[in-house]
Amino acid sequence: MKNYKWLVKIFASIFFFSIIKAQSNSNCENIFKYECGNKFYRYNLDNEPADYGLTYGQYEPGKEAYVGLSIIQNLAYQINRLTLDPPGVLLYNVAGPSTFSNDTNKIWYLVNDRHHDYTWVDSQNGEIPPFAIEVGKDRSGFSLLIGRIVRPNGLVLLGGVVTFMGVLNYADENGIGQLTNQGYQVLTCQSSVQNETKFMTPVFNFPPNVDTGCINNWQPYQNDDAPNKNGIAAGEFDCNNTAFVGKVNVGKYWSPGRIQTTKPTGIYAQTNGSKEVLYTNGSFYLADNPNYSYYWIPYDGSGKAPDNAVKVRSEIGAYALPVARLKIDGKMEIGAVTLPLASFSDGKGSFNGYQSFEFLVCDPYSKYQCDQVWKQFNNTSLKIDGFKVGSTNFIGRSCGHKLGRAVDAGVYFIDKLTRTEGFDNSSTASYLVKNPNYNYTWIASTNGHKVSNALEQHSEGHFPFYIGTIRVNSQDFIGKVLPGQGLIYIDANGKLKSSSSYFVLTCTSNDVSQGVYQEESDEDWFNEYWCPERKVWNYEEEKCQCKREFKVNEHQENKKWNDKICSYE
């Protein structure tokens, strides 16, 4: 009897711990019950879809294909077969043979998120299964779903289900466009992340507002706070208002303008004459997109707008006006560009032409900036995973985030106090680790201008600085880029040098889980706050002025003072 009770206790303990283990495991499992916030990345004819994309099966023996999205005739979406070899996408033609495209401006692939559960569900006649991925809606309100047909031999054909027609458009084995209202499957997606941010599908005007760079999403402005949540801001208009990018039809054309979300709400835009008018209806605001990066760049005087400039298109698509901004009398104005000038309100109800302004541009990259890893030195790691510049230099930094070139023993850094090169081999010296999963690019820049996706370093005073490089006499030098000043570095003789033209290190991450979210800070990068050495910002006059102590303390006989360089000549 005692043995029996002993066995009962053992089995009871096992049963009890099995329950605890089951509960513990269930808490660790992903629970897929939420709607997915699907993302599409631009296909640059590389191997990214194999790493991040979603395959739907083999269209030929041994050939995998991925879920692709493209735009045809600048008018509508297509769900297409995206391939790596050859790189591109198959564009089906309902009326005949399909064509193949490798236009990277019009091709995306669906990202396979690890928090998502993708399932193919049988469907017919345009039915929308629960959690079906809706790619887009047009003015008629119909949805486009991702569909496929699985042949008896196991090979798969991809297409788009047009719900209001109830049919699947696809290209058959011979590349001939076909339609069917049955025998297909629809791709569904459930997420384990509650309240996941949905991918905002572009809302087209007619014809659609398709620009090089991004498919810009203009949403109707209902005089609410929607721009505060999803809009693109240009900066502060006044103490109570942020200037959001908008557009409105002012008669025969569309005009960019400033959306205001506090009373009186509406959009301030230019009329057919020269006056600024408040429109309270019929306007749109530019909606942000988590897959895009919007930023402002100064007009370079070339007489051309950037290819990725955000444009406001006319009703009939006959012309497009790039969006611009300019701060006038301390107020951020939004206007239109008709090169070589841009028109803005002067704050008195009229518009004037300016040659110094900034374009709004957009790139199809996520806002997730790359996370930086700095590692302490040991005997071998630098040359294995360090970030190399040129043939011999690695990026390093010393205590206090002093930037310079790293060697096996430590870091040669820029000592601003002595204006020479210092050396640090202590435990505080480190080097930048190059992450193979990131996309690093050196971008040409000048005069300390902001560069999108630049790797931001520790602030010096009010401003951050960035990693820069320059080649002089076949030698590559590493230095820091300061706002409004440019690059400072140490030359081959150990002397402090500066340059207004250089390259800035930028980085983007295709996997948002690997990055750190950083909003662009426009206010910190206005030109008027960039005061070079020997000058200080005058808030009352809103301009840079020579430091008073420099002029007073320096005594130079028979020399004339020059305000431009803040020195005697």
Has residue 15 been placed in a domain?
no
Please report, to the nearest 10 degrees, the dihedral formed by the alpha carbons of residues 205, 209, 210, 215 taken in order: -90
In this structure, are residues 242 and 235 in contact, taking their beta carbons and an 8 Å threshold?
yes
Q: Does residue 476 register a pLDDT over 70?
A: yes
Q: Which of 100, 99, 90, 96 lies closest to 69 in space, CA to CA?
A: 90
394 plus 256 within the same structural domain:
no
User: Is 180 found in the same domain as 58?
Assistant: yes
Whole-number pLDDT of residue 78: 84
Structure tokens at 140: 């008629």
Q: With a cut of 60, say whether residue 534 has pLDDT above it.
A: yes
Mean pLDDT of 440-446: 88
Q: Would 156 be classed as within a structural domain?
A: yes
> Does a structural domain hold residue 12?
no
- What tokens does 11 get? 């089995």
The pLDDT of residue 153 is 92
For residue 423 the two structure tokens come to 């050396």
Q: Which of 328, 363, 398 lies at the terminal end of a domain, its last residue?
A: 363
Confidence of residue 515 (pLDDT cuts 50, 70, 90): very low
Residue 565 pLDDT? 76
Q: Count structural domains, the chain.
A: 4
Query: What is the average per-residue pLDDT within 187-194?
Result: 87
Q: DSSP for 179-205?
A: EESSSEEEEEEEESSTTPPPP------
Amino acid identity of residue 218, one-letter, is W
115: Cβ contacts below 8 Å, ≥ 6 apart: 30, 191, 192, 193, 196
pLDDT value, residue 120:
95
- Tell me, yes or no, whether 233 lies in a domain: yes
> Which of the listed residues 306, 331, 363 is the one where a domain comes to its end?
363
CA distance 372 to 380: 20
**For a pLDDT cut of 90, what percent of the chain falls above it?**
14
Place of tokens 């569900």: 121
pLDDT tens digits, 255-280: 899 999 988 899 988 765 567 788 88
On whether both 75 and 160 belong to a single domain, the answer is yes
Which has more pLDDT, 410 or 161?
A: 161
Q: Which domain holds residue 334?
A: 217-363
CA–CA gap between residue 452 and residue 465 (Å, rounded)? 13
Residues 178 and 224 in one domain: no
How far is residue 70 from each of residues 90, 158, 426, measured CA to CA in Å?
A: 9, 13, 54
CA separation, residue 24 to residues 17, 28, 115, 194 (Å): 10, 7, 19, 21
Quick one: pLDDT at residue 184? 95
How confident is the prediction for the chain on average, in pLDDT? 76
Structure confidence by residue, pLDDT tens digits, 142-168:
678 999 999 999 999 999 998 877 889
On whether the CB atoms of residues 476 and 389 are closer than 8 A, the answer is yes
Which pLDDT band holds residue 246 (cuts at 50, 70, 90)? very high
Task: Tell me the average pLDDT across 428-452.
Answer: 83
User: Measuring CA to CA, which residue among 279, 221, 228 is closest to residue 250?
Assistant: 279
Q: Of the residues 330, 363, 396, which one is the last residue of a structural domain?
A: 363
pLDDT in tens, 280-336: 888 889 988 766 778 888 888 888 888 778 888 654 444 678 899 988 877 888 988
Please report whether residue 444 resides in a domain.
yes
Same domain, 244 and 359: yes
Q: Report d(CA 342, CA 509) in Å as an integer.
A: 34
The answer to the question of residue 20 being in a domain is no
The per-residue pLDDT for 532 is 63
pLDDT of residue 237: 83
Kind and range of the H or E run holding 150: strand 143-150
Torsion of CA 275, 278, 284, 287, to 10 degrees: 100
- pLDDT tens for 169-184 read 899 988 888 889 899 9
Whether residues 62 and 148 fall in one domain: yes
185-194, 201-210, 519-528, 531-540: which has the highest mean pLDDT?
Answer: 185-194
Measured CA to CA, the distance from residue 383 to residue 381 in angstroms comes to 6
How confident is the model at residue 451, as a pLDDT? 78
| Per-residue pLDDT at 81 | 93
Q: Do 62 and 179 belong together in one domain? A: yes
Q: Give which of 488, 456, 476, 265 is closest to 370, Cα–Cα.
A: 456
Residues 326 and 400 in one domain: no
pLDDT on residue 119: 94
Q: What pLDDT does residue 469 have?
A: 93
Confidence tier at 16 by pLDDT (50, 70, 90): very low
Clarify whether residues 301 and 238 are in a common domain: yes
Structure tokens at 85: 């070899």
| Residue 9 domain-assigned (yes or no) | no
387 CB-near residues (< 8 Å, 6+ apart): 394, 395, 431, 432, 433, 434, 440
Given a contact cutoff of 8 angstroms between Cβ atoms, the answer to whether 259 and 221 are in contact is yes
Rounded to an integer, what distance in angstroms lies between the CA atom of residue 536 and that of residue 547? 6
The verdict on residue 208 lying in a domain is no
Specify whether 392 is located in the same domain as 439. yes
Same domain, 163 and 259: no
pLDDT tens-digit series, residues 40-86: 887 888 888 887 889 999 999 989 999 998 876 545 678 989 999 89
